[in-house]
């Protein structure tokens, strides 16, 4: 169910109306669970069983981790992490395994290729891992809260944590120690209306006006279309895709944050103007923050982080990003994308460029280089087939003399401009000279709302739904 569909609007309004009625004040969590099941079942009804199975496994394992025998807690936590990874591997990576390691026509391979990819599985399995590890480390709630926790109550809280519909299919990835302490009765009078409104307007604008319009041009990056366009147009399309993927995913995340606020929950900020980054380290502190902090907290640090010497630090960086890339999709191109970012982080750290420079000119050059690298790497997202990537590069190399398509180039630049202004405004906003403009922000939000109504593109699925 798309956030910009009438079905979702109806589900959200009905749920919000019932949620704050005194009649349902003691059943708010149950009401949100029901809404979340309806939301998830809208496109893939049968796969609700998998979501419930994941929640059931994580409920049982995490409860025994919390209250079981102290000597078996580590084994149980390891089992919980292993089961979550097994579910993720079976449903997400079986087709990749079949294509890579099994001969064509093999019966097992044919079966593995038919396994469906449930929407959001990468997100809710990571949240199951977070729940198990956080309870093992006694980070999710206080000892007093734990003492009064029944298995039934824990099952309800776990299902709610995993399935809460604003974040269910594309994040932000929730961590148990951040979300579980927020579960309590919510009141209509406490809604952060202004913050929710801003998140929703910006989110829907980025998705419906920027991303949904750009997708009609960036689809020409696919094979065989890219063979027929000039080098300049192809590079402009790739720039447009870089803007599109930001607008699409940051838009989804902003909508999720706004919806969370309407129901009284604070979700983690997922984007913080990443395209102003002047280092790869900074980029990953600003892009998909919930994933980068998850990888830091549950993978990089447990591997040893930077505590085991410089060589191991670089290895941990590269391995973490390689696995983070593979998390994104069942194709080796995603792993190579992660490996490229891991190598960039390691080389940057080795050269000492992960620290900011005092020179504005050097910062600008670094920022441009980071953006170019990130944009070129997005080609592995857009074209997961390596043969298509090679074909695109060849087209860029040999089509330099072809005529550029002015309509495509100008349209991409026009729809990319709001994201450029969005980042520039973030840079200049704190300066004293811009304070009068800041006071007129509400006019800007009104303009965004107007453009949503009159200039939205054809609705399309969010890019991160495939992950």
Domain coordinates of the chain in residue numbers? 6-190, 193-278+356-466
Nearest to 62 by CA among 171, 146, 123, 166: 146
On whether the CB atoms of residues 467 and 248 are closer than 8 A, the answer is no
Distance CA 432, CA 348 (A): 34
Nearest to 219 by CA among 200, 199, 244: 244
The per-residue pLDDT for 141 is 63
Where the chain has pLDDT below 50, the residues are: none
The end-to-end CA distance of the chain, in Å, is: 15
Task: Spell out the alpha helix ranges (H) of 229-351.
Answer: 231-262, 280-286, 289-295, 301-303, 310-328, 332-351
The pTM score is 0.93
Assign 3-state DSSP to the chain and report helix, strand, coil percentages, each to 5. 75, 0, 25
- Whole-Å CA distances, 47 to 8, 95, 121, 221: 19, 18, 10, 32
- Whole-Å CA distances, 344 to 114, 183, 353, 369: 36, 40, 11, 11
Q: Annotated catalytic sites, by residue? A: 328
Chain mean position to CA 431: 31
The per-residue pLDDT for 140 is 66
The per-residue pLDDT for 165 is 94
Nearest to 120 by CA among 196, 181, 183, 41: 41
Distance CA 364, CA 424 (A): 13
- Strand, coil or helix: 437: helix
> How many beta carbons lie within 10 A of that of residue 443, not counting itself?
10
The per-residue pLDDT for 142 is 57
Distance CA 456, CA 259 (A): 20
Distance CA 282, CA 289 (A): 11
> How many beta carbons lie within 10 A of that of residue 325, not counting itself?
24
The per-residue pLDDT for 14 is 96
The per-residue pLDDT for 348 is 93
The per-residue pLDDT for 147 is 63
pLDDT (tens digit per residue) in 113-132? 888 888 889 999 999 999 99
Q: How many residues does the chain have?
A: 467
Assigned token pair, 299: 């993978």
Distance CA 393, CA 268 (A): 37
On whether the CB atoms of residues 357 and 366 are closer than 8 A, the answer is yes
Assigned token pair, 216: 């009609």
Contacts of 440 (CB under 8 A, 6+ apart): none
Assigned token pair, 43: 């496109």
């Amino acid at each position: 169910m798309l956030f910009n569909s009438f079905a979702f609007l109806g589900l959200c309004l009905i749920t919000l109306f019932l949620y704050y009625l005194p009649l349902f004040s003691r059943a708010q969590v149950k009401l949100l669970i029901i809404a979340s099941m309806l939301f998830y079942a809208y496109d893939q009804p049968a796969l609700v069983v998998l979501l419930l199975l994941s929640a059931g496994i994580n409920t049982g394992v995490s409860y025994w981790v919390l209250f079981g025998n102290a000597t078996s807690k580590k084994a149980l936590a390891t089992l919980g992490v292993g089961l979550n990874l097994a579910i993720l591997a079976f449903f997400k990576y079986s087709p990749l395994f079949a294509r890579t390691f099994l001969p064509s026509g093999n019966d097992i391979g044919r079966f593995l290729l038919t396994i469906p990819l449930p929407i959001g599985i990468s997100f809710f399995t990571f949240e199951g891992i977070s729940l198990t590890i956080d309870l093992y480390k006694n980070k999710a709630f206080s000892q007093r809260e734990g003492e009064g926790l029944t298995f039934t109550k824990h099952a309800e809280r776990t299902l709610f944590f995993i399935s809460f519909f604003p974040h269910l299919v594309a994040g932000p990835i929730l961590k148990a120690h951040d979300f579980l302490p927020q579960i309590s009765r919510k009141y209509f009078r406490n809604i952060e209306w202004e913050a929710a409104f801003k998140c929703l307007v910006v989110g829907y604008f980025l998705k419906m006006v920027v991303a949904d319009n750009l997708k009609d041009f960036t689809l020409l990056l696919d094979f065989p279309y890219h063979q027929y366009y000039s080098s300049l147009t192809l590079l402009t399309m790739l720039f447009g895709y870089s803007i599109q993927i930001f607008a699409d995913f940051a838009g989804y995340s902003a909508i999720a944050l706004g919806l969370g606020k309407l129901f009284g929950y604070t979700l983690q900020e997922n984007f913080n103007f990443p395209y102003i980054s002047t280092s790869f380290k900074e980029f990953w502190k600003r892009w998909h923050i919930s994933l980068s902090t998850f990888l830091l907290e549950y993978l990089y640090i447990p591997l040893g982080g930077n505590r085991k010497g410089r060589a191991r630090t670089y290895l941990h960086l590269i391995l973490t990003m390689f696995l983070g890339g593979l998390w994104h999709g069942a194709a080796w191109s995603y792993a190579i994308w992660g490996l490229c970012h891991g190598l960039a982080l390691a080389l940057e750290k080795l050269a000492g460029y992960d620290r900011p420079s005092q020179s504005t000119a050097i910062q600008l050059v670094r920022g441009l280089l980071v953006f170019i690298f990130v944009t070129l790497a997005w080609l592995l997202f857009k074209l997961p087939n390596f043969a298509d990537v090679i074909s695109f590069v060849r087209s860029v190399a040999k089509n330099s003399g072809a005529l550029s398509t002015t309509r495509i180039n100008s349209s991409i630049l026009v729809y990319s401009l709001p994201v450029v202004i969005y980042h520039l405004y973030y840079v200049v906003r704190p300066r004293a000279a811009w304070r009068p403009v800041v006071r007129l922000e509400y006019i800007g939000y009104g303009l965004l709302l107007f453009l949503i109504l009159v200039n939205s593109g054809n609705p399309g699925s969010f890019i991160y739904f495939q992950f």
